[in-house]
Copies of this chain bind each other. A is one copy, B any other.
Amino acid sequence: MRPNDPRAVRSRDAILAAARELLRDHGPAAVTHQRVAELAGVGRATVYRHWARTEQLLLDAMASSDLPYFKDPPTPVRPWLFRQLRGMADELAHPEAVAVTVTLMHGAFGDAQLARQRDGSTAAIVERIGAALDLAVATGELPERPVPADAAARLIGPLVWRATMQIGVPVTDDFLDRLLDGVWLG
């Protein structure tokens, strides 16, 4: 079957839609060949033919998804930020989520499209964290506005470093609280 064969295009689209749905509703760990094939109504071999590696499928699904992290902050902001960080740390406890993160980091060094995806993902996170901090300042919860790019690096950097370099060390609630303290204290 050729790549432009209408059946190949249809199965590719169905697989990608299924991967996006699993990613949105159940997180990166749910995007396995088995579950994607079931949801897309195709055989596992078809998924493998289009995407030999799960993390590439996950990257493509992420590229065309709007990930829910740090979106639409309510007040009070801090407990919500805590829950967002908790959710991200729990996701990063799954090897699949770590694999897609390091694949994006690594691949972006030789691939302009992946580099754009990496930069877009970072820009979205920084913008959303900035909006959340603005809300916290506007409601008097936070005395002064931190630099969003710095706050994002201080909140997310330690989680990603732990997931990629400090494997197996759990992210406790206390650790997350201290990350937030660092941003809150300026």
Contacts and interface: CB of A to CB of B under 8 A. Distances in A.
A113 interface: no
Interface string A167-178: 101000001001
B164 A105 contact: yes
Contacts of A122: 165-166
28 contacts: A95-B109, A99-B109, A102-B102, A105-B105, A105-B164, A105-B165, A121-B165, A122-B166, A150-B158, A150-B178, A153-B158, A153-B166, A153-B175, A154-B154, A154-B158, A156-B161, A157-B158, A157-B159, A157-B160, A158-B158, A160-B161, A160-B165, A178-B182, A178-B186, A181-B182, A181-B185, A181-B186, A182-B182
A45 interface: no
A98 interface: yes
Given A181-B185, A185-B181, A186-B178, A162 B166 contact: no
A167 B126 CA distance: 13
Nearest to A107: B106
User: How many monomers of this protein are in the complex?
Assistant: 2
A175 B157 CA distance: 13
A139 interface: no
A135 interface: no
A149 interface: yes
A144 interface: no
B164 A153 contact: no
A118 interface: yes
A40 interface: no
Given A102-B106, A102-B109, A109-B102, A153 B162 contact: yes
A157 B162 contact: yes
